Structure 1
Amino acid sequence: MLENKRVCFVIHSLLAGGMERVMSEIINYFSQTKKYQVHLVLYGIKREIFYTIADDIIVHKPNFEFDNSKRTLSTLKTIRFLRKKIKEINPIFVLSFGERWNSLVLLSLLGTSIPVFVSDRSQPDKSLGVKDDFLRKLLYPKAKGIIVQTKKALEIYQRMYNHRNFKVIGNPIRPISETEIEKENYILMVGRYIKSKQQNKLIEIFSKLNAPNWKLVLLGYDHLKQNNQSEWEKLGTDLNVSDRVLFTGKQDDVEYYYGISKIFAFTSISEGFPNVIGEAMSAGLPVVSYDCIAGPSDLISDNVNGFLIPINEDNLFVEKLQCLIDNPDIRNLFGDRAKKSIQQFELNYICKQFEEFITS
């Protein structure tokens, strides 16, 4: 009976975001197998559900609001809620997402026999501060298993944590259908307008190209209380490319922009697993990306289906972008190879890896 195969997924939020999207896809996969009774525990400050989840998934939320003005008290109440609710569910495993949140889940379930698997979803060597770094070093070894997104993350985590049960599982990449829309001379970047994504650096690189008939399309929006768009628009004006740099704002139809663009460029210096690179490759776009920690090197084979650029080697970035602009045959070859290579991140295949690891 399904009651004997209760499974529990724990996350602070299912609002729009990469980590939240992956969690929604995993829980839907487990629901669709019809082998499990699927429970989702949402316990963060904002508990709305943006992504579509199956009707038979049982959702649990605290019956109190998280009061940031009484953070310590709210955190203790959350720990108590998690412990009581998950023990009540009595699942065969718990899967928790979120580098700042996994420690809370592990702390909540100390002393129980419930197997807890955790997965961080951001740059693996990024410090979260003294308190959170200490808690992770203390609590992660108590997890049943640790899921990382990239080979580089595995190297880093094996040095950081005294644990033997690691598994590298990339994100599922949604397929981007090819369209009959005629492509434009567009270089596309998709990402929030935050400093670590470095759209300003890409504008500077674009200004050095010999490409008067090309445009740079920056799909995203200001985030994290960083008001960068106005500053970066001024940068475009100062570099005399403002008429060829398009700030689109937040767009629901991202696929349209993948469809009409010819090249994807990515200047981020901090990633966990850059889904947008995978989506661009799925759409058959050649990619030029900084080889940041971590993710691009798990997706791009340098000089095979795209170009990996060491961070801050801007002249090389210009050179490789110019190469793709000047050589449509290379663009098409790299794009075809990209589309084929990204199939290893097909949704059901990735979700199956999660299932096999955490149920074995």
Structure 2
Amino acid sequence: MSDKKKICFVIPTLQMGGMERVASLLANYSVRNGYYVYIICLIDKNSSYYLDENISIFAPDFEYKKGVLNKLKVLHYLVSCLKEIKPNAVLSFSEVFNPLSIVSAKLANVPIYISDRSSPYKKLSFFTQSVRKLTYPCAKGMISQTELAKTVSLNKGYNDNVVVIANPLREINQKLEPPKEQVIVSVGRLIPTKNFKELIDIFSEVNLEKKWQLWILGDGPDREVLQEQIDNLLLSDCVKLLGAVKDVDNYLSKASIFAFTSISEGFPNALSEAIAYPLPCIAYDCPAGPSDLIKNNKNGFLIPLHDKESFKLHLNKLMNDSFLRSVFVDDYKSHREKYHTNSISKKYLDFLLS
């Protein structure tokens, strides 16, 4: 019998998103380093990310629907998969599904670790919060993305074995000597917490001569509302909603500034990638993540949350000072090394198999 260890990741889907990208990076690293790797998708197994052909992917043959009966179907399916795989360690993503994963792992008699991926202050239903408090202590350990998230988890009594491990950085496809344009770029789903409405307002108030452009990469339910805002402000020539593009690096290569107005994060992968690219960054200091990534006045500006006037002032400063922009990207290699997929993934596996 093979002595290769088995790692199993449990996740709702593998569609485009920060949690899904992290799972794919960890899975690819694990299989390259001699582990048997399994991914159990609870909703949909179609992947937006590259996955090594040696990774085994499971998904139920029934459509996921809300409700207690469907949760029981998922529970039965997950228990069956875990009993079949018999992994040495399970890592479950998503605060909504983690309780179900914990119960399943206990019924299958396999060790489970969990990781919440949203802001530690995200409001969840009373039922979800209650179930988390009941089940989370039964996990062998918990991975937080930031020190703030760890502190909140410990204070709430979720688990007493909590470690902080940041998200791994994907491979950056940096263009050689890219021609920089007067472009500000931002990346994220078009949802209220990403706060793109405020970013567009800020841009309209600092780009009075309309020499710069703002490119927003991503899609989501707020697209029509944001496009209407752009049209009403007569900004259609300089503000572009470019959708969910495949080659993000192609756009980062042309931009001169990365702007991030999100008001709630778990760990902002888009901001980490922008710093690594490298781009000078400006971001609201929302919980949680930007303060872990931006060294204020060194590789970007960290703006107090909701201080729109300060954001405008510092964005204008970046737009008008090319030397400052060059200073802010001077130490990007240390960021790449710190968050490199290999070093971060090793920390994950060391914790899961300790």
Bin for the TM-score computed over the shorter chain: over 0.9
**Contact 1:3/1:37 (<8 A) preserved:** no
Match among 178, 194, 199 for residue 197 of structure 1: 194
The letter of the residue matching 2:118 is: S
SS in 2 for 1:321: helix
CA-atom RMSD in angstroms: 1.9
Distance 2:126 2:223 in 1: 24
1:172 aligns with 2:179: no
1:218 corresponds to which letter in structure 2?
I
- Unmatched segments (≥5 aa) in structure 1: none
**Is the CA contact 1:236–1:245 (under 8 Å) kept in the aligned structure 2?**
no
The Cα shift of 1:210 comes to 5.4
CA 1:311–1:67: 2 relative to 1, 3 Å: closer
**SS of match in other structure, 1:243:** coil
Secondary structure of 1:336's aligned partner = coil
Q: 1:141-198 CA deviation, whole Å, 9 max, x = no partner?
A: 1110100111111121111124221111111112241433311111111112211111
Partner of 1:23: 23
Task: Indicate the SS of the match to 1:289.
Answer: strand
**Matched residue SS, 1:2:** coil
Could you tell me which residue of structure 2 aligns to residue 221 of structure 1?
A: 219
Partner SS, residue 13 of structure 2: coil
Give ranges in structure 2 of 5+ residues lacking alignment.
Answer: none
- The residue number in structure 1 matching 2:252 is 258
CA deviations on 1:28-85 (whole Å, 9 max, x unpaired) are 1111111x222221222x23233222222222222433345xx322211111121122
* Superposition pairs of residues 134-173 of structure 1, within 5 angstroms: 134-173=130-169
Cα distance in 2 for partners of 1:183, 1:60 equals 44
Give the stretch that moved more between structures: 135-144 or 332-341: 332-341
Give the whole-Å Cα distance in 2 for the aligned partners of 1:243 and 1:49: 34
> Partner residue of 1:351?
345
CA distance in 2, matches of 1:14, 1:139: 25
Letter in 2 for 1:232: Q
Are 2:274 and 1:280 aligned? Answer: yes
Aligned to 1:14: 14
Instruction: State the SS of the aligned residue for 1:301.
Output: coil
Residue 321 of structure 1, aligned match among 312, 315, 321: 315
CA distance in 2, matches of 1:201, 1:214: 17
- Amino acid of the structure 1 residue aligned with 2:39: L
Tell me the equivalent position of 1:83: 79
- Counterpart of 1:289 in structure 2 is 283
- Aligned 8 A contact 1:283 1:339 in 2: no
Q: How far 1:339 moved relative to its partner?
A: 4.4
The counterpart of 1:232, out of the listed 218, 229, 233, is 229
C-alpha contact 1:179 1:259 (8 A) present in aligned 2: no
Given residue 31 of structure 2, which amino acid in structure 1 is its aligned partner? S
**Quick one: structure 1 residues 228 and 164, their matched pair in 2 at CA, closer, same or farther if it must change by over 3 Å?**
same
Among 307, 322, 330, the residue aligned to 2:324 = 330
Partner of residue 66 from structure 1, selected from 61, 64, 67:
64
Residue 328 of structure 1 and its aligned partner are, at CA, apart by 1.1
- Say which SS state the counterpart of residue 265 (structure 1) adopts: strand
Any idea what SS the aligned residue of 1:20 has? Answer: helix
Give yes or no for contact 2:227–2:241 (8 Å, CA) kept in 1. Answer: no
For 1:220 and 1:109, locate their aligned partners in 2 and report how far apart those are by CA, in whole Å: 35
Please state how far the C-alpha of 1:303 moved relative to its aligned partner.
0.9
